[in-house]
Chains A and B, each alone.
Chain A
């Protein structure tokens, strides 16, 4: 397991369910879920090398651009869970993806780096530079992360879109949970992990 949000995602996925991972990378998370949760898995990924990696490890993958929308590929409610892991901040239209994903699946799981994390605030607020660290490793001029947000920003968008937050977890890079983290998640959570569904 090599990403801080995986163990939370895994806990939320019901065994034997149908799982779609949008922006699945090399398919490692899906392969992990297949092994641990016996899920039926499909991924969607744009980059050649990542798609080839998925194919080589036996993860079903569709090569497509998330920014072109996903509704044409998947029927409404054709999955139990749709995961968007560390991807939504790189989307051209995160709000469209959020609406579409909850159209395709019963529940959505979204993880992203929290811009409100204290180190990010320190780097921007005190040092006057765009944050660069383990969770946000790219310089501002060459980053896929064009739509960074904080926990508060994300929750405001969910409210606006009629998306219900079923669960929220925040972790730091080492996957530790602490008093500080639970008390002030938007300050001390480096990564945010949400379980969502469409209201009503």
Chain B
């Protein structure tokens, strides 16, 4: 298959860009980032009035590479290539799509792997804890840098959906439409518990060295691998696992050993070990903390509807039936708060057995909803 055919419907080859910000960024934690860099990608063309810009917010282990390929030899496209591209629901023939790597990340934006200008050493565990609100402020600065006054839409799934909610609250005039997929208004105790086990797996790894593993020339491989394995269990569903692996044995018969025997074990180990090669443990800790702390209703006496009262955006909220990490009930909380606040909102519950991971998949009804909604957004914004 030629590269042209293979990549039709794709944005093709993309090159990440970089923006440097010298203005200090005060953080929720009380600490200040003196300067920082954000790495981002764009797809499509910004129109003359900058009315067709869409921001994509990434989830826990995502990054700025949402669509297309960096090199012709890339085995896999960006993480949301199923939805972003020419003719796809987030149509790059109509929209100018922006996706960035969040602060604290490990894919190019300033994070634990970057050099702390004060010490001259990599931040490592000293990188300040960043919140969803901090991210949104940094994203807003990037928006100004790109000369965009208002996003036609801000779109995100999971932790990305939380950033969308925060956008609608922090910058009500700068976002016309909010698309919140497989998200929650805040984490439940159970969600936090899973995150804590993941963090403990990392920090108790003997190779963690209080987060200064780089200085010791090592990596907390086992800890990060366990954290990812645990995460993957929460991204799937019982049905999805049964369909994908059942009780199939790798060797065809029971070995009576503690080696990998069931296919599901093999899958989780593969996901865990491959993650270690592409992700930083300190970043993983930071991202889980951003999740734990997210709670926009904390400042309004746990009244989410009051927290969302200032929003001006129109909302599309989508959940997936088998998602137990952020179950439909959590999306309903968001929708009910929006309705109580008198906001314009549509809510759809997509039947799927893929668990939380469904938000990244090409499920016909899901993509039909996204495409139908965004077509109107594009028409409204005068996109091409």
Contact = CB atoms under 8 A, between A and B. Distances in A.
A122 B76 CA distance: 66
Contacts, number: 51
A73 interface: yes
Contacts of A55: 316, 346, 348, 369, 372-373
B339 A42 contact: yes
B375 A56 contact: yes
Given A51-B369, A73-B336, A73-B339, A61 B346 contact: yes
A151 to B, nearest CB: 33
B349 interface: yes
B362 interface: no
B376 A48 contact: no
Contacts of B346: 51, 54-55, 60-62
Nearest to A48: B365
Interface residues of A, number: 18
A111 B272 CA distance: 57
B342 to A, nearest CB: 8
B35 to A, nearest CB: 42
A58 interface: yes
B368 A52 contact: yes
A75 interface: yes
A150 B305 CA distance: 42
Interface string B332-358: 100110011000111111110000000
A63 interface: yes
Contacts of B369: 51-52, 55
A168 B369 CA distance: 38
Interface string A6-46: 00000000000000000000000000000000000010000
Q: Is the interface of A mostly helix, strand, loop or mixed?
A: mixed
A62 B343 CA distance: 13
Nearest to B336: A73
Contacts of A51: 346, 348, 369
A64 B347 CA distance: 9
A5 to B, nearest CB: 25
Contacts of A56: 372-373, 375-376
A160 interface: no
A184 interface: no
A103 B325 CA distance: 34
**Which of A61, A63, A73, A74: most chain B Cβ within 10 A?**
A63
A72 interface: yes
A166 B239 CA distance: 51
A74 B339 contact: yes
A100 to B, nearest CB: 15
Contacts of B375: 56
Nearest to B349: A63
B365 A62 contact: no
A58 B345 CA distance: 10
Interface string B364-383: 01001100110110000000
A75 B332 CA distance: 14
Contacts of B339: 42, 62, 73-75, 78
Given A60-B344, A72-B336, A73-B339, A52 B365 contact: yes
Given A55-B372, A58-B376, A64-B347, 12 more contacts: A42-B339, A48-B365, A52-B348, A55-B369, A60-B344, A60-B345, A60-B346, A61-B348, A64-B349, A72-B336, A75-B340, A78-B340
22 contacts: A48-B348, A48-B350, A48-B351, A48-B365, A51-B348, A51-B369, A52-B348, A52-B365, A55-B369, A60-B344, A61-B347, A61-B348, A62-B346, A62-B347, A63-B347, A63-B348, A63-B349, A72-B332, A72-B336, A74-B339, A75-B339, A78-B340
